[in-house]
Amino acid sequence: MNRAVVVFAVVAVLVGTPFVSSEVFSKDLDTQTIVVEPSSYYAIHFGIYGYGSIDYHFEVTSGSPVTILQLDKTGYERFKDGLDYSYLRSVTLSHGSWGGGVSGIIWEMYFVLINNGAEPAPLEFAAESKPLASLPVAGIMLGLVAAVGYAVERHFAPPRSQEAGQIPSPTMMTPRRKAIVAAAGLFSFLATIVVLPDLMEGITTHDDISFSSFDLMVLLWYGTLMCTAVAFLLRLRLSTVRGDPEVVLASLAHRLRVSGYRVSKSPGRLSVRISTTSAIRIIAKPASEGTSISYQTTGTPAGFVILIILVLAASSLAPIQLVFAVFMLYRSSVFASDRVLPRLFGMPVPELEGGAASTRMMLVAGLSEGMRVAAEAHEATRAKYHAWALVLVFVFLIGYGQASILLSWHTGVEAWRAYRLLVGLIAGLIAAIIYWGLVSRRLGPMLKDLKVWITRLESALSREAEGVPPMDGEVSSFELVMESYGEVPKWVKARRKAGIFRRPGYWFLIFFFSLYAVGGGVGAIIFVSTNIQFGMILTAISVAFGSLASFMYLHWRKRQNEEDRATLTDQTGRLQTLRAEMETYLGSV
């Protein structure tokens, strides 16, 4: 039912917002004649209040010259009050026409026709405004859809049952509802960030509320960035259960691993991969009644790469990264509701005689951890493989350029123009093929080997979870764990070599801090001889950003070393314990 409500909400907002925005705020002005009297002005107003476009055309045939100003709300208010103002575009026409279009984030726009001459100035004017998504309409539609969806869910939702061992909560709000409330709060907070500065200025100065298109875009971008960060920092409470936090997490990790999820465990928390872009962090803390379980949305390396690209590329469509983050937040809440909450209660494995249950738990953990490390190494190596493919483009361009230059040295201008493209393409293609062959020869076998290991471990994990014995010719789960242990150091090394692709956020900051450090250093060298004070300031900026970049790199390397040591230590300890458990169990049979 929740998915149907969400789909309905998305479709209603995406379809309804453009339609209602167009009906309410669009203007289609056919060609009309406007006469601007001498020493006066005439203003034409358009309101988009979001995303849209305005097309316009002016034509002057006689009379005094007319100055046409294109202003936003702030510029128009200052022009009207006789203050200094800034304009978007300006043109003066005595005879002829002028037109164009503007699109993107537009709140309000004015065209001011000024006649400073002694004669009336008639001119013809035509325009059309097309609001694609007005923010007030989108807010109203979102509120209506949320109200309808909430009412439908309340009417059709089955009674909420309480799991055995779950401690009752005073509110008992479902994880999905919490995520919806959090998403609504984030979008409301974004709207407040965008509107509040101009609203407060209007209240304190007792003037009309004015919105600058540039200010609106800046506030929208920074507000979206802030709300996106909050979406990943939110920690939502899931439940309170009886038991010790580490015992509860160990049982939950086992159940999730049995179900085929990739789980990494650290003191007090679990990290579970949901999809190629989304992950969830489950936190357990001691409480007066047992263990308090909460969760936090996070992303996979691929998810954070997409998010970084959206942040950098979507300056004109700033809310898109917040929509992506809210989608990940809701997906985490669905996973917490449908996958985590039921697995917090019940027996970890079927009760078996002797040490069979403990041995099976350790086999499942060994297979799952081996598969996780192998999969992370495979993903990191594959990302590295694809990154080298981008370098291939530069190799091709270098080959093309070098062949073109060499050809120009030994031929005339006409022959060089005739054969440059053909020879350059052939040389670039040969260089690219040689380069790609070297990369494939180096990384291809590793990718195939890792894929084979992932398939073997995944098959054994599924078999062990179902309690099915291995078929003839298949190795046992214990033998496979023992065999995979010898490969783990190699997988950890492969994962480490591609560390830049596993933590793109760190390297994103390191890159920009280093860029600013180098830029400040170059600027300091340039200005130190002409303006020593400015040169010293640039030197301080360069040192500060260089220190930040070094700190981020050292912190990343420290975490990487700790993670590698923890993985190897955990695998060694698990193997030793499993070997002892197997010997004890076999001795008792």
Residue 229 scores a pLDDT above 80: yes
Alpha-carbon distances of 499 from 3, 240, 437, 505, rounded to whole Å = 36, 36, 24, 11
* Same domain (yes/no): 260, 242: yes
* Domain CATH code at residue 87: 2.60.120.680
Amino acid at 575: L
Residue 402 scores a pLDDT above 70: no
Amino acid at 531: N
User: Which tokens belong to 106?
Assistant: 């537009």
| Domain presence at residue 589 | yes
Residues 6+ apart with CB under 8 A from 42: 34, 36, 112, 113
State the Cα–Cα distance between residues 333 and 349, nearest whole angstrom: 25
Across the range 43-51, mean pLDDT stands at 84
| Domain presence at residue 6 | no
Q: In the prediction, which pLDDT does 325 show? A: 87
| Domain presence at residue 169 | no
* Same domain (yes/no): 327, 369: no
* Same domain (yes/no): 532, 486: no
Residue scoring higher pLDDT (112 or 559): 112
* Same domain (yes/no): 287, 314: yes
To the nearest 10°, report the CA torsion of 442, 446, 447, 449.
150
Alpha-carbon distances of 185 from 32, 314, 418, rounded to whole Å = 46, 22, 63
* Same domain (yes/no): 468, 576: no
Q: Name, of 86-95, 209-218, 257-266, 358-367, the range with top average pLDDT.
A: 86-95
Residue 553 scores a pLDDT above 90: no
Q: Are 343 and 314 in contact (CB under 8 A)?
A: no
Across the range 29-43, mean pLDDT stands at 87
* Same domain (yes/no): 340, 377: no
Of 109, 135, 161, which one is at a domain's C-terminal end? 135
Q: In the prediction, which pLDDT does 69 show? A: 92
| Domain presence at residue 483 | yes
The domain containing residue 390 runs over which residues? 353-500
Q: In the prediction, which pLDDT does 491 show? A: 80
Least confident interval from 77-86, 200-209, 394-403, 485-494 = 200-209
* Same domain (yes/no): 320, 429: no
> Counting every residue, how long is the chain?
589
Residue 296 scores a pLDDT above 90: yes
Give the model's confidence band at 33: pLDDT under 50 very low, under 70 low, under 90 confident, else very high: confident
pLDDT > 70: what percent of the chain?
A: 75
Of 293, 313, 348, which one is at a domain's C-terminal end? 348
Least confident interval from 101-105, 407-411, 447-451, 580-584 = 407-411
Alpha-carbon distances of 519 from 299, 362, 523, 526, rounded to whole Å = 32, 53, 6, 11
| Domain presence at residue 561 | yes
Across the range 151-168, mean pLDDT stands at 54
Q: In the prediction, which pLDDT does 355 show? A: 44
Residue scoring higher pLDDT (374 or 309): 374
Across the range 85-98, mean pLDDT stands at 86
* Same domain (yes/no): 304, 366: no
Across the range 177-193, mean pLDDT stands at 82
Give the model's confidence band at 201: pLDDT under 50 very low, under 70 low, under 90 confident, else very high: low
User: Which tokens belong to 233?
Assistant: 């920092």
| Domain presence at residue 320 | yes
Across the range 253-276, mean pLDDT stands at 83
Give the model's confidence band at 297: pLDDT under 50 very low, under 70 low, under 90 confident, else very high: very high
Across the range 205-222, mean pLDDT stands at 58
To the nearest 10°, report the CA torsion of 481, 482, 483, 484.
50
Give the model's confidence band at 407: pLDDT under 50 very low, under 70 low, under 90 confident, else very high: low
| Domain presence at residue 89 | yes
User: Which tokens belong to 96?
Assistant: 């002829």
* Same domain (yes/no): 397, 364: yes
Across the range 525-543, mean pLDDT stands at 81
Residue scoring higher pLDDT (52 or 135): 52
Across the range 416-441, mean pLDDT stands at 66
| Domain presence at residue 438 | yes
Across the range 255-267, mean pLDDT stands at 81
Least confident interval from 139-148, 238-247, 327-336 = 139-148
* Same domain (yes/no): 477, 514: no
State the Cα–Cα distance between residues 283 and 289, nearest whole angstrom: 16
The radius of gyration of the chain from alpha carbons, rounded to an integer in Å, stands at: 32
Mean pLDDT of the chain: 76
Across the range 520-527, mean pLDDT stands at 81
Give the model's confidence band at 211: pLDDT under 50 very low, under 70 low, under 90 confident, else very high: very low
* Same domain (yes/no): 486, 582: no
Domain count, the chain: 4
* Same domain (yes/no): 199, 325: yes
Residue 350 scores a pLDDT above 60: no
* pLDDT per position as a tens digit, 378-393: 877 777 776 666 666 6
Q: In the prediction, which pLDDT does 226 show? A: 87
Of 348, 365, 395, which one is at a domain's C-terminal end? 348
pLDDT > 90: what percent of the chain?
A: 5
Return the DSSP state at 209.
-
